[in-house]
Each structure stands twice: as structure tokens, then as C-alpha cells.
Structure 1
């Protein structure tokens, strides 16, 4: 009996040694990525909350503690609320316009009768892999008031009589930025919808066609309900990504004209790395914390919607 117990103990020790040795190698490979994540992601997030309670210009020790003054000043700043409104408008427009258009295009590209599907998918996806800052610079020249590509084309077509300052007018600047934002990320939403459509059970559609269902009935009673969980995830990702549009706005308009295209990301950057006067890292951190809370709340609400749609599908109520 004692021999059996000793043998079992040795077996367990050997198994434990094997597991420790195996996990040690796993942690050895993970350690560099984990260190970089803690250094460049977790640490800046934690310190931004600390800086928000200080009047600090980014240099020297943290000495001038101001409590919630930075938060109060941010909430009372009309320029902050202007940037916040522009960010929400940008997000809503991208979700409301881009997501349905991407679904319709995905249905078209998934049609059996369409030729050259790979070519069209590549064309739509090219802007996604292009650097956003480069896109912003190119579009800045394309929509330029003089010698811009858009004005040249419209003048030749006779649609306008004189060049239009698209990015310099308060009436058109934000609309152009939204238009470029939709075009830039359209291909990604298209790929998501295509993946969802191609994963749909084909036997259900075949059975519905045999029963005499029309194309609209297939779309209304099968495609839309079955794609609702996928669509809710696409809406969630689109909304969260659209709330961070710093590189595009910075290179296209820098928040102008008259703060008409100013976004919260650009607002924070302007105070944290101000070229005019003293940088206010503490104030910018407070604005970033407030905006981060808003983004988190939006993510939670949309996440609950994603969970609800998934639950309805799982229970067979779609």
C-alpha cells in the first residue's frame, strides 16, 4: 500500500514538474509582449488619471495638485462640448450611413451572377490598408479650393461656376470629413458583412425558395434576422472606432475652420502638446478621462445590445 502511495506521489510530482516547465516556456514567450503592453498601454492609462488632478505641463515632478479643477474647467468649456458634439455627429453618421450601405454592397458582391468579385472587393478594401494620415493629406489637396481635383472635375462638368473651398467653409467642412471617413473604413465593414452572409445556412434559403418565397421575403424574414447578431457587433465596432478619428481630422482640417471639424481627440492633443503657450497635460488628461468614460458607456450599451441579439438568436426568437 505504501509503495502504491509513493508511486502515485511521484507521478503527481512528475506531472506538476511537467506543467510548470510547460507554463514557464509559455510565460517566457509572452513576457516581452506583456511588458510592452504594461509599459505603453496600462501605464499611460493609469497615469492619465493621475495627471488629471494636477496642473502639469509635462515636465518636472507633480507638485501643483488642483483636485477636480481640471474636470470642472473642461465641463464648462464650450469648445470641449463643440468637439464632443462633432465627435458624436461623426460617429452617428458613420454608423447610420456606412453600415447599411456596406450590407447592401456585400449582398451585391455575394450574388452569383456578378463577375469580377475579387476585383471589386480589392478596390473597396484598398482604402482600409492605406495609412489614415496619408489619406487625410491626399484628401486635403483633393478638396483644395484651388487646383483641387474635386473642383477641377466639377468645373469641367459644369456643376459649379467657381472653385469651392470645401475644407475652409463652415458649411461643408464637417460633411467632407464625414464623407472621407465613410470611404476610408467602408471596406472593413464590407468584409465583416460578407463573412456573416457567407456563414448563413444555405439550406434554409433553398427551402424558402422551394416554398415560393420572393427575393424580398428572403431578405426580410431570413437574411436580416440571421444577420442581426453579426450586425450588432459591426455597429459596436463601427461606433467605437468612429469616436477616435484624430489622424484623419488632424491632417485634413486640424479642427478648422472655426472649430467646425474639431473632435475631442484633436482637442486633447491641442492642449497636451500646444505649440502656443504652455502645454497643459493635466487639463488634457482630464478631458481624456471624461471622453473615455463616455466611450466606455457607449460601448457598454452597445455591448448589451450585442448580448441581447445573441440571446434572441440562441433562444430561436429571431
Structure 2
């Protein structure tokens, strides 16, 4: 590129370098140090010591497994429910379709902190609407503390994650479905194909590249989740909802182990980078097909 082009790019490059690339490089470096909280605390380079400790840290592996369960569960449920909703909203002649599309976007417009507070009220063991509703229809006979039970806390949080991420997935899949030529479905219907056959033969091949893209991105975003789960449970009870980012946050800002937390962040960067490579390859295969 010519010097004039670089001059035009500088206003965009400087904030990226200062606010994104610089902190990323510094964070990666901290993972190889014994940085701790406190004024005038010396920081020494310790090489791979933090990573060796991570390998033998049962709490880290527990958070990693919980993160995988969370990310897979939320991503799969988001896709299945969003696909069903997108197919419904794509039906011609559906009454109040415009209103339904607007309402489907409501969770997307809400900040994660607000969503977390709202669902904490829904799950409240004494005054929550969920307990009151289930008791009124006879499903429950006593109050349930949804966010404090060891067996039900993670499923309860997964429900919130699915509800939060459905709008974006629904809109993406709806846009893909609207891009499928209508005459193909009409031709299949004339040949005697039912609704399921038309979806399997006509719609699915057309939207498959979009499905691969959105599910891969959703998995990356869900695996990297922090704010929503922090507001809901802060990783409790007993670490049953402690995702990897929550584990890193606790190590850094509760226990002051900045170097160890940064090492966990470095591992997460590698995991996310691998997932991004998978995503880019899926994108390139979709473009070639």
C-alpha cells in the first residue's frame, strides 16, 4: 500500500493497536510471569510455570468441563429453537408476523447485566414468578432455589443463555430462509413433497453454510461467556457454574494472581484461535460450494 493509504488507515489502526492489540500482547506476556496484586510487588518472568500449574489444577479442569457443557448445550438448544422459530416466522400469511419478529428481538436489545438481574427475580425462591406459576398449576408443591441447587443451577443458567442468544440466531436463520428461491419449494410441492421433504431437500442445502457459520460463532461466544453467568450465580453454588472466564476473573481479582489468571487467558486465546480456524475453513468451503 502507498503511504497515502496508510495515512488514511491510521485513525482506525491506532485505536485497534492501543485498545486491543497492545493489551492482548501484554496479557499474553503476563501469563509467563508471577504478577500479583499490590503496590510495588515485583514481577518476575517464570516461563511456563503457570501453565504447568494449570495442567495439575483440578479447579481449572472443572471449569473447562463446565464451560464445554455450557457452550455445547446453549449452542445446540439455541440452534434448534431458533430454527423452529425462524421457520414459523417465515410462513407466509402468519398473523401478526411483524409483531412476532419484533418481540423475538427483545432479548437481543437487553444488556447481559439487565438480563441476569431479571432472571434472578424470575428464579427467586420465595417471590419468583417461576415458582409461583409451577405451584399454581400443581407441578411444584414447595419453593425451589433454582440458582443455589447443585443439580439444577447449571441447567437453570443454560436456559437463560439460550433465551439470551436466540434472537441473533433466529434473525440470521430467518434471513437465510428468505434467501431460498420460493419457486424451488413450489416445484417440490408440485412433485408431491411434504413440508419436511421440502425443508430437507430445498431449504437445508441452501442455508447449511449459514448454519455452520452461526453455530460456530455461537459456540465461541458462549464458551467465552462471563457477564451473564457472573450476575446470575457468580460461579456458584460450589463452582457448579464456574465457567473458564469466571475462574480467571476470580484468580485475578479475588485472589490477586494476575500472572496465573493471564496464563488461563492465554489458553483461552489458543482455544478460541483454533475455533476461529475451524470457522474460517467452514466459511471457505461454503463459498467454494
**Is the CA contact 1:170–1:257 (under 8 Å) kept in the aligned structure 2?**
yes
- Rounded Cα–Cα distance in structure 2 between residues aligned with 1:75 and 1:131: 35
Q: Tell whether the 8 Å contact from 1:53 to 1:282 is kept in structure 2 after alignment.
A: yes
Paired position in structure 2 for 1:38? 17
Q: Which moved more, 1:58-67 or 1:109-118?
A: 58-67
Which deviates the most, 166-175 or 288-297? 288-297
1:252 lines up with 2:229 in the alignment: no
1:141 aligns to 2:118 (yes or no) = no
Per the alignment, residue 85 of structure 2 pairs with 105
What aligned pairs does 1:68-147 form with structure 2 within 5 A after superposition?
68-147=48-127
1:304 Cα offset (Å): 2.5
Q: What is residue 286 of structure 1 aligned with on the other side?
A: 263
Q: Which one of the candidate residues 186, 206, 225 is aligned to 2:186?
A: 206
**Which segment drifts farther, 197-206 or 171-180?**
197-206
| C-alpha contact (below 8 Å) 2:124/2:145 kept by paired residues | yes
1:219 corresponds to 2:219:
no
Q: 1:53 aligns with which of 14, 29, 32?
A: 32
Q: How far has the Cα of 1:199 moved from its partner? A: 0.9
For 1:308 and 1:156, the matched residues in 2 are separated by 52
Cα deviation per residue 1:51-82 (whole Å; 9 max; x = unaligned)? 11111125547642211111111121111111
| 1:128–1:185 CA contact under 8 A, matched in 2 | yes
Task: Please report how far the alpha carbon of residue 182 of structure 1 lies from its aligned counterpart in structure 2 after TM superposition.
Answer: 0.2
Rounded to whole Å, the distance in 1 between the matches of 2:43 and 2:92 is 67
1:181 aligns to 2:158 (yes or no):
no
CA shift digits 1:166-197 (9 cap, x unpaired): 00001100001100000011011000001101
| Contact 1:249 1:261 (C-alpha < 8 Å) held by counterparts | yes
Residue 115 to residue 254, structure 1, CA distance change in 2 (3 Å): same
- TM-score (normalised: structure 2): 0.93
SS at match of 2:93: coil
Separation in structure 2 between the aligned mates of residue 61 and residue 256 of structure 1, nearest angstrom: 31
Distance 1:73 1:61 in 2: 21
User: Would the aligned equivalents of 1:106 and 1:190 in 2 still touch at CA under 8 Å?
Assistant: yes
Cα deviations across residues 70-119 of structure 1 (Å, max 9, x unaligned)?
11111211111111111111111122211122112111111013111111
Unpaired runs of 5+ residues, structure 1, are: 1-18
> Following the alignment from structure 1 to structure 2, what is the Cα–Cα distance between the partners of residues 282 and 32?
32
Question: How large is the Cα RMSD of the aligned pairs?
Answer: 1.9
**2 CA distance for matches of 1:20 and 1:245?**
40
Q: Which range moves more in the overlay, 166-175 or 229-238?
A: 229-238
Aligned to 1:237: 217
Q: Take 1:203 and 1:148, find their aligned partners in 2: how far apart are those partners? A: 49
Q: TM-score, normalised by structure 1?
A: 0.85
Find the counterpart in structure 2 of residue 155 from structure 1.
135
In 2, distance between residues paired with 1:20 and 1:296? 31
What displacement does 1:31 show? 3.2
Within-5 A mapping of 1:261-300: 261-274=241-254, 277=255, 279-300=256-277
